[in-house]
Amino acid sequence: MNTLSRRKFLHLSAATTASLYLSNLSAMTIHNPLVSNILTRQIPKCEERIPIVGMGTWQTFDVGENAVERANMKKVLAAFVEMGGTLLDSSPMYGSSEEVVGDLATELGVLKQLFMATKVWTTGKNAGIDQMKASMQKMKSDPIDLLQVHNLLDFKTHIQTLRKWKAEGKIRYLGVTHYTDSAHDDLVKLIETESLDFVQFNYSILSRHAEKELLPAAQANGVATLINRPYESGSLFRKVKGKQLPEWAEDYDIKSWGQFFLKFILSNSAVTCVIPATSKEHHLRDNMGAAFGAMPDAKTREKMVKVLTDLE
Ligand SMILES: NC(=O)c1ccc[n+]([C@@H]2O[C@H](COP(=O)([O-])OP(=O)(O)OC[C@H]3O[C@@H](n4cnc5c(N)ncnc54)[C@H](OP(=O)(O)O)[C@@H]3O)[C@@H](O)[C@H]2O)c1
């Protein structure tokens, strides 16, 4: 008689549960109380609201055909959707990331729940069009929710295509991105002259240049903001290694340094959504935790900065 050992039975049950869980994720999120509690903010020019924590894909989703790494990123994406996340930010510059996002979202059955953002990163009208069509195919998203000119590369050419595509319904929103303080003046000029939907840029608890003009300009002109490099690509964690969170962090539902850094950013009212990247499910759950609960006020924000600068 073919009997199953208890260990093998438990192993199979766990695998079946995991696969049922992953295949039914779409249905499960509808009943998940976390999803309904997640904080959202309005895209200023319209009625649509998005959850305040999204996810970047640079490096983390660039795993090509590697089955083990794909399985790992599938867990990260599943946890993201389970906790109520929707906005994913990619680019043709990020290797296989667009394709991996599209494949994993399809496997999980969550494509329709996601807000897909990607970029155009090339020069010339036709090269831009070809690249954006390829991105839509890879991300399995037509229309794509947001297309951004990556690092302002050949902005004047691509913005014309983006406007036409938006009018034709091929994309829902258009925007621009950069990742250095030195580009902030250029971003401000575009915000004031080009009627953008989104602007994406760097901002963190120790890199506050965006507070001077860029964030106020976006707010005054009704442009949604996506914040990249919120952890300065991870270096903020090295600064606080071995350090305890201040006790008052609890008053703002902050349970980790990751949430401390993200809630600092999110407590600026001109921020629409922050997009940390991670390759680890437990970090993803930690990051998403910043999308719930109380937000620091202006006085507390200054205290938060002091905690970091005192370490320097
Ligand atoms: N020009 C542009 O358009 C531009 C430029 C830069 C970035 N971006 C976008 O912004 C996204 C975010 O920026 P980024 O990827 O440079 O860096 P980031 O989000 O500031 O930091 C990512 C790093 O933080 C670590 N991390 C994440 N969550 C953590 C947690 N809870 N605890 C401890 N460590 C944690 C990650 O490691 P683990 O994998 O170990 O978690 C990774 O090393 C990018 O992925 C991209 O989508 C756009």
**Structure pTM?**
0.92
Q: Is the CB–ligand 1 distance for residue 150 below 6 Å?
A: yes
Average pLDDT, the chain: 92
User: Can you tell me the distance from the alpha carbon of 277 to that of 233, in angstroms, rounded to the nearest whole number?
Assistant: 8
- Burial string for 247-282 (b: 16+ CB within 10 Å, else e) reads eebeebebebbbbbbbbbbbbbebbbbbbbbbeebe
User: Can you tell me the distance from the alpha carbon of 310 to that of 125, in angstroms, rounded to the nearest whole number?
Assistant: 49
| Pocket probe mutation, ligand 1, options 80, 135, 229, max atoms within 8 Å of Cβ | 229
Taking a C-beta distance cutoff of 8 angstroms, is the pair 264, 220 a contact?
A: no
260-284 pLDDT, tens per residue?
999 999 999 999 999 999 999 999 9
| Pocket probe mutation, ligand 1, options 280, 281, 285, 286, max atoms within 8 Å of Cβ | 280
Give the per-residue SS3 of 169-214: CCEEEEEEECCCHHHHHHHHHHHHHCCCCEEEEECECCECHHHCCH
Q: How far is the CA of 228 from the centre of ligand 1 (A)?
A: 8
The answer on pLDDT for 47 being more than 70 is yes
Residue carrying structure tokens 């208890």: 6
**Contact partners, residue 13, CB within 8 Å, separation at least 6:** none
37 CB neighbour count, 10 Å cutoff: 12
Question: Which of 2-11, 100-109, 243-252 is least confident?
Answer: 2-11
Residue 41 parent element (H or E): strand 40-42
Residue carrying structure tokens 């997640």: 38
pLDDT for residue 55: 98
Please report the domains of the chain, with CATH numbers, ordered by start residue.
49-309 (3.20.20.100)
Q: Is the CB–ligand 1 distance for residue 195 below 6 Å?
A: no
User: Running DSSP on this structure, what letter comes out for residue 101?
Assistant: H
Return the bridge partners of 198, or none: 175, 224
Taking a C-beta distance cutoff of 8 angstroms, is the pair 69, 77 a contact?
A: no
Kindly calculate the radius of gyration of the chain based on its CA atoms and give it in whole angstroms.
20
Q: How far is the CA of 231 from the centre of ligand 1 (A)?
A: 6
Query: Which pLDDT band holds residue 236 (cuts at 50, 70, 90)?
Result: very high
Residue 56 three-state SS: strand
Q: Is the CB–ligand 1 distance for residue 54 below 6 Å?
A: no
Report which ligand 1 atom has the smallest distance to the Cα of 279: 39
